[in-house]
């Protein structure tokens, strides 16, 4: 790298750190060429200016996967089974409600309902499911689904996307989880998910949702064979929509997991590539409030490092997660461990609810929770009749109060 290039990058980092907007070309230059420590310092400067209280947050939630039956057959997915497959399953409403109750007992404030594109599940299925959850557990935020599920349910029911969103929102959906984004750029998206809607259509549906008052997060699964330029283009596509709607609350990048799927790990992103993307995202998204680091797919050490690279949230204690875990994500954590990861990164931990309000600020270690029952676990909880009791008999449910 020449001295001139070095000065250009230094000036560009300062401009971004001061809150200036950078172009996709400039973001790509920083992603590929900026010295790692200087890149991280610039991203952290943006975070400090946005959040001078030095708080970093976490959430307690549960991902409830209602079915693994799916017609989309994405090549990166180890979770789905084709219709009529012997290993296909669907949970009835009673089982979903049982898992919600279990989550509430463990202190969860959010449910992320996600599953396959079942050929029989239209808007009516989601309306009845969301209504049942809200009727029984009104305290739970339903941060669920994404544009792909909306496109599918609208097609099954023969209604418009607008009608589908309005109906499930009225039934209890609070916000969209940003599922199905994967990578929005046409070339790599077509390779890994040829039957899924285009990235442009995914964004159109999210823009429609934002216009109807339903916010969402934006996600990125990196490491499925995309180029560096395509990674930045994914960010650009999201930022352009955010300029118009302001409806993306947070950006959440994570890494593709290689086990039990057709890609078989040929294209994985490294931890350094992931961390650089986190930092560039904080500099690039001048219009997105929050940036979440991932520990589920990258490990807790890498997750903690995101706290120094612009992230202000460390995700959740996932009381259940089956989709990414099916592809090999075996990292587990618990509430006390996430608090410690945040605190030893030099930040003040706080438990948040879905819409970013601080539920508990852990500003005094002497008052930290001392129970170890709020833990993340994976995969086996998808089995009918599973859950805490069978998959983790050592765990005891206690009254969250």
- pLDDT at residue 78 in the model: 64
The pair of structure tokens assigned to 308 is: 């120094």
- 3 state SS for the chain: CCHHHHHHHHHHHHHHHCCCCCCHHHHHHHHHHCCHHHHHHHHHHHHHHHCCCCEEEEEEEEEEECECECCCCCCCCCCCECCCCCCCCECCHHHHHHHHHHHHHCCCCEEEEECCCCCCCCHHHHHHHHHHHHHHCCCCEEEEEEHHHHHHHHHHHCCCHHHHHHHHHHHCCCEEEEECCCCCCHHHHHHHCCCCCCHHHHHHHHHHHHHCCCCEEEEEEECCCCCHHHHHHHHHHHHHHHHHHCCEEEEEEEECCCCCCCCCCCCCCCHHHHHHHHHHHHHHCCCCCEEECCCCCCCHHHHHHHHHCCCCEEEEEECCECHHHHCCCCCCCEHHHHHHHHHHCCCEEEEECCCCCEEEECCCHHHCCCCCCCECCECHHHCCCCCHHHHCCCCCCCCCC
Q: Kind of pairing, strands 358-361 and 348-352?
A: antiparallel
Using an 8 Å Cβ cutoff, are 148 and 196 in contact? yes
CA distance linking residue 174 with residue 363, whole number of Å: 29
- pLDDT at residue 376 in the model: 61
- pLDDT at residue 189 in the model: 93
Using an 8 Å Cβ cutoff, are 311 and 56 in contact? yes
- pLDDT at residue 355 in the model: 85
- pLDDT at residue 319 in the model: 79
Burial of 368 (0-12, 13-18, 19+ CB in 10 A): middle
- pLDDT at residue 74 in the model: 66
Please tell me the pTM assigned to this model.
Answer: 0.86
Closest-CA residue to 184 (of 122, 109, 236):
236
Give me the residues of the chain with pLDDT under 50, please.
1-6, 259-263, 265, 321-331, 378-401
Domains of the chain: 54-391 (3.20.20.70)
Closest-CA residue to 343 (of 325, 327, 363, 323):
363
pLDDT in tens, 29-54: 999 999 999 999 999 999 999 999 99
**Residue 315 CA: distances (Å) to CA of 14, 61, 335:** 28, 10, 11
Using an 8 Å Cβ cutoff, are 143 and 194 in contact? no
- pLDDT at residue 333 in the model: 64
- pLDDT at residue 169 in the model: 98
> Buried b vs exposed e over 299-332: b needs ≥16 C-beta within 10 Å?
bbebbbbbbbbbbbbbbbbbbbbbbbbbbebebb
- pLDDT at residue 331 in the model: 46
């Amino acid at each position: 790298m020449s001295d001139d290039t070095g000065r250009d990058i230094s000036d560009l980092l300062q401009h971004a750190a001061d809150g200036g907007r950078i172009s996709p070309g400039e973001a790509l230059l920083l992603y590929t060429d900026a010295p790692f420590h200087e890149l991280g310092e610039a991203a952290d400067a943006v975070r400090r200016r946005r959040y001078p209280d030095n708080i970093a947050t976490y959430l307690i939630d549960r991902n409830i996967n209602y079915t693994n039956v799916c017609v989309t057959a994405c090549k990166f997915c180890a979770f789905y089974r084709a219709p009529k497959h012997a290993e296909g399953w669907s949970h009835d409403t009673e089982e979903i409600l049982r898992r919600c109750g279990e989550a509430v007992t463990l202190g969860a404030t959010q449910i992320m309902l996600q599953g396959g594109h079942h050929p029989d599940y239209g808007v009516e299925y989601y309306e009845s499911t969301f209504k049942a959850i809200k009727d029984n557990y009104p305290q739970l935020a339903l941060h669920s689904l994404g544009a792909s599920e909306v496109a599918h349910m609208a097609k099954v029911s023969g209604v418009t996307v607008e009608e589908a969103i309005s109906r499930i929102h009225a039934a209890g959906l609070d916000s969209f989880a940003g599922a199905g984004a994967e990578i929005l750029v046409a070339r790599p998206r077509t390779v890994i998910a040829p039957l899924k809607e285009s990235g442009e259509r995914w964004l159109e549906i999210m823009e429609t949702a934002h216009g109807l008052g339903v916010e969402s997060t934006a996600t990125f699964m990196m490491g499925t064979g995309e180029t560096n330029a395509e990674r930045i283009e994914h960010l650009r596509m999201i930022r352009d929509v955010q300029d118009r709607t302001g409806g993306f609350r947070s950006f959440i990048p994570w890494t593709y997991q290689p086990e039990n799927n057709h890609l078989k790990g040929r294209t994985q992103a490294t931890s350094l590539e992931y961390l650089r993307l986190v930092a560039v995202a904080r500099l690039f998204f001048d219009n997105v409030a929050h940036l979440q680091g991932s520990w589920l797919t990258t490990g807790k050490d890498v997750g903690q490092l995101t706290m120094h690279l612009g992230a202000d949230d460390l995700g959740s204690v996932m009381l259940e997660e089956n989709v990414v875990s099916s592809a090999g994500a075996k990292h587990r954590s618990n509430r006390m461990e996430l608090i410690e990861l945040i605190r030893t990164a030099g930040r003040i931990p706080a438990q948040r609810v879905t819409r970013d309000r601080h539920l508990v600020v852990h500003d005094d270690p002497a008052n930290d929770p001392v129970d170890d029952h709020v833990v993340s676990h994976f995969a086996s909880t998808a089995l009918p009749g599973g859950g805490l009791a069978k998959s983790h008999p050592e765990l005891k449910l206690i009254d969250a109060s």
